[in-house]
Amino acid sequence: MISVSDISFSVEPAKPGFGDVSSNVSFLLAKHLKKNPKEIANILSEKYRQSQSTLVSKVESHPSGYLNFFANWEKLNQLILSESNLDEFGSVDLGKNSTIVVEHTSVNPNKALHIGHIRNIILGDIIARILKKSNYKVNILNYVDDSGLQVADIIVGFRHLGFDLQPPQGKKFDHYCGDDVYVKTTEKYEKDPSLEEIRKNILKELEDGNSETAQFADKVTRRVLENQLETCWNLGVYYDCLNFESQIIRSGLWSKIFEKLKELNLIEFENEGKNVGCWVIRGENNEEDKVIVRSNGTATYVAKDIPYAAWKLGLLEDPFNYQKYEKIQPGNHVIWQTTLVPSSEPKQNFTGKKVITVIDSRQARLQKIITTLMSKFKSAEDAYVHLSYESVTLSADTAQTLGLNTDGKQAQMSGRKGLYVNADSVYDLLKDKTIEETRKRHPEMIDSEVKKIAHQVSVGTLRYEMIKQDLDKIISFDLTKSLSLEGDTAPYIQYTYARASRIIEKSTRTPSIDVDFSLLNDPSELDLIKTIGLFDIHVMDAAKNLSPKVIARYCHDLAVAFNSFYEHVKVLDLGDEKLENSRLCLVNSFKLTLEKALELLGIVAPDKM
């Protein structure tokens, strides 16, 4: 008798000639049983032959030692295609309905969102969608950094350099603040050093919520924030709550967390050396100590993030009241905002047992400190996760198209220098190109339909380009390549969906799962059915590893499998109604599965393109 209960073996899709799936179990048992893998595979295949399985037609040992399983495709076809018609197809129960916080965006409200910010926003939004599909209760937060240096800079511009509060005709306020006020104000610091002192004073006044400067800054930053949110909503990104740094500073959360840090000996007071009189977090592995309270008693930047991190995990009593944001998000999604003034609205709870914060790799050191502190507070290693990603550059051609002179090189973005391309401009350019292409293909289509398709393709393109790469790779965004109907692009996948829609429309029949599944036996049909059946495995993989790329790759694999099916077999006009119905069932299952997978990416698939 062979016992394999203690052996961790794998079962994987097989290479050609190795069945449908194969297992390496014989190799893992060889040392344990002192037999060669081929002999063990023979013994195991004989055992399997004696047992009954609905979904396995036969098991064979391969001369190499692998154990190969062959599917009962009629039964497997029925199981996969029937399940794909269910609303919950692809759902997995990783979260067990536990709460999780996803915080993303977190852009200074002093400028428009640029293409680099979009990677953060899309990444955070898709992670939230995948976690919801994995049975987590997700709270999506946007931390509004409304009290930092960059906000002080635009206040200097408006208050001391004579910039008008009204933008030029036809220009959004966030574009005006970023392109004109912020860039031109930072240029002036080099020529007029006295402005540095003014900026320091403004920073101090921003911390006092009752000061006239703070109230003026609140009006300005909220106007910018409104425009930023419009950009996000246009891309299908929504939030549950807005949290404001200015309120966190004034909430008293820092003093509570400061005492807790001292109690748990997580910080130390420095009696000598360059940091004398400061409270520091000791550096690990030759890293420098991090000052969190200066010798004059003022807290450093990291001190703002620590109480907010603890608040997200529900480790501190919530000092905030809540109000509904003035505007309702598209689709009637309510968005809440924290406030320190009394509110008639009920208390909300946007904390989680676990927190994922999406911040670019340049803040890795700071995030490592916060992650370590939170794991000690919570006594859980993975309670607080920094999801890091690399920056976005523009290809030389795209930079030129958008009016940036980069001497034929990729464009690295800098808001301070004005070297950036706002997200609205990229979206508009994508939309214009798609409108032009759609009108060429469909001259009969009405204007509103053309614009709707162009919007769906433009948003799909931006989203897909931001997540199809590994997170640790720099993205070089290229407008022309991203809109191609061939290769690894959103339009290629969307066009495949439209192709499936057209087949069903031409058939004039409603696809059904009451068909003869044994008729689906062409290799291209079986390959497509296999790919459809892998949906929940990919959702689990993406959720466990916080990897949207897994779903992007799955959508592309689905589209490739469908296009191979489309090239190899006809669906309509076969003169065989039973076979037509079986193939229509498969086309519809593909369409439903791709729609669900694209929904996780926040991409809408149009029926026509």
pLDDT, mean of residues 368-389: 90
Contacts 24+ apart (CB under 8 A), 499-506: 499/562, 499/563, 499/566, 500/562, 500/587, 500/588, 500/590, 500/591, 500/594, 501/591, 501/607, 501/608, 502/607, 502/608, 503/571, 503/572, 503/584, 503/587, 504/584, 504/587, 504/588, 504/591, 505/607, 506/572
| Cβ-based neighbours of 55, under 8 Å, separated by 6 or more | 71, 72, 75, 76, 79
pLDDT tops 60 at residue 376: yes
- Output the pLDDT for position 413: 61
Nearest C-alpha neighbor of 373 from the set 256, 260, 269:
260
- 302 vs 129, which has greater pLDDT? 129
Q: Is CATH 3.40.50.620 the classification given to domain 99-251+320-352?
A: yes
Give the per-residue pLDDT at 412: 67
Residue 395: the pLDDT is 83
- The model's pLDDT over 456-492, given as tens digits with 9 standing for 90+, comes to 999 999 999 999 999 999 988 887 887 787 889 999 9
- Indicate whether 374 pLDDT > 60: yes
List pLDDT tens digits, range 218-235: 999 999 999 999 999 999
pLDDT score at 47: 83
Choice among 409-413, 435-439, 496-500, 510-514 with the minimum mean pLDDT: 409-413
What pLDDT does residue 1 have?
Answer: 43
24 pLDDT tier (thresholds 50, 70, 90): confident
E-strand spans in 42-176? 56-61, 67-71, 99-103, 137-144
- Cα–Cα distance, 232 to 152 (Å, whole number): 24
More confident residue, 115 or 357: 357
What pLDDT is attached to residue 10? Answer: 67
Render pLDDT for 524-567 as a digit per residue (tens, 0 to 9).
999 999 999 999 999 999 999 999 999 999 999 999 999 999 99
Percent of the chain predicted with pLDDT > 70:
96
- pLDDT, tens only, 306-338: 999 999 999 999 999 999 999 999 989 999 999
Q: What's the whole-number average pLDDT of the chain? A: 91
Residue 411 burial (C-beta neighbours within 10 Å; 0-12, 13-18, 19+): buried
Q: How confident is the model at residue 420 (pLDDT cuts 50, 70, 90)?
A: low
Domain spans of the chain? 11-71, 99-251+320-352, 252-300, 423-600
Q: Does domain 11-71 match CATH 3.30.1360.70?
A: yes
The average pLDDT across 593-603 equals 98
pLDDT tens digits, 229-270: 999 999 999 999 999 999 998 899 998 999 989 988 999 999
Tokens of 489: 């692009």
Burial (CB count <10 Å: 0-12, 13-18, 19+), residue 484: middle
Average pLDDT over residues 438-464: 95
Range in 59-68, 130-139, 443-452, 591-600 with the lowest mean pLDDT: 59-68
Q: Which CATH architecture has domain 423-600?
A: Orthogonal Bundle (1.10)
Mean pLDDT over residues 121-137, rounded? 98
